[in-house]
A = this chain, B = another copy of it.
Amino acid sequence: MSKPNDFSIRCQNCSFNHLCIPVALNQTEMQSLDEIIERKRPLHKNDQLTIPGQKFTSLFAVRTGSFKSYITSPDGEQQITGFHFPGDVVGFDGLYSEKYQSYTQAMETSMVCELPYDKLDTMSAQLPTLRKEMLKIMSTEINQDHSLMMLLNKRTAEERLAHFLINLSDRFKSRGFSPAEFNLTMTRNEIGNHLGLTVETVSRLLTRFQKEQIIKVDGKNIQIQSIEILREKLGEHVANKKACG
């Protein structure tokens, strides 16, 4: 399929292998995994990696760039379910019904590793660590979605955006990028869509955070001046434990 010459980077040297499927594998296992991976040529901005209804064949690990995933409702409404950066694995939604359920779209020029599912499955019969790792990644996704549910149901606009910025910062940090300065590859509209806010609200909040000296905003560029104050914004609710248990 892919020519190993052109885009050949091996899991062994990949700077994101500590975040990706290889994390739990030993050298030999990683070698096996590496052999089934197909390196795809670059995707350009707005290219679709998966679309709903398309036959599920592979999972994809983001190698460079960034993606957004979104679903649509019958009436055309869109909901961005997540943003993906190097090391993230996408496509699990397709396991249900053998068809991808969401769009996965490149937000900039990006590269992915394609992991053909049938080969992964065969391998996982032999490798308990791989089997476990796949379940673990899905479990992580479920837990993240549950946290987001709490965020959307119980938090104010300000708290949501603070959470979003902290989350980005943490993710960039774990990838070896600066946690204090980064570029938003997504638009204000996309941030709002994901967080259940309007563009205007996102814009106003960024401006407000800047006035409060918490961040510096220059277009797509964000500098976090005080991650502490940002974190404080999350927990400022009074604990008014509602009946539930």
A interface vs B, CB < 8 Å? 46, 48, 70-71, 73-81, 92-96, 101-103, 105, 121, 124-126, 128, 131-132, 134-136, 138-143, 145-150, 152-154, 189-190, 193, 195-196, 235, 237-245
Contact assessment for A70 and B245 in the assembled complex, using a CB-CB cutoff below 8 Å: yes
Cβ A152 vs Cβ B150 within 8 A? no
Given A149-B149, A152-B153, A153-B152, verify A139-B78 contact (CB < 8 Å): no
Report yes or no: B142 in contact with A75, Cβ–Cβ below 8 A.
Answer: no
A135 in contact with B132 (CB, 8 Å): no
Closest to A152 in B: B152
Partner of A139, one of B46, B93, B146: B93
Measured in the bound complex, the distance between the Cα atoms of B131 and A135 in whole Å is: 10
Contacts of A239 in B (CB 8 A): 75-77
Nearest B residue to A78 by beta-carbon distance? B244
- For A69, give the chain B residue with the smallest CB separation: B146
- A154 in contact with B77 given A95-B135, A146-B93 (CB within 8 Å): yes
Q: A70-B244, A140-B96, A193-B242 are in contact. Are A145 and B149 (CB under 8 A)?
A: yes
Known: A128-B125, A131-B125. A189 touches B96 (CB 8 A): no
Residues from chain B with a CB closer than 8 A to the CB of A241 are 76-78
Determine whether the beta carbon of B79 is less than 8 Å from that of A190. Answer: no
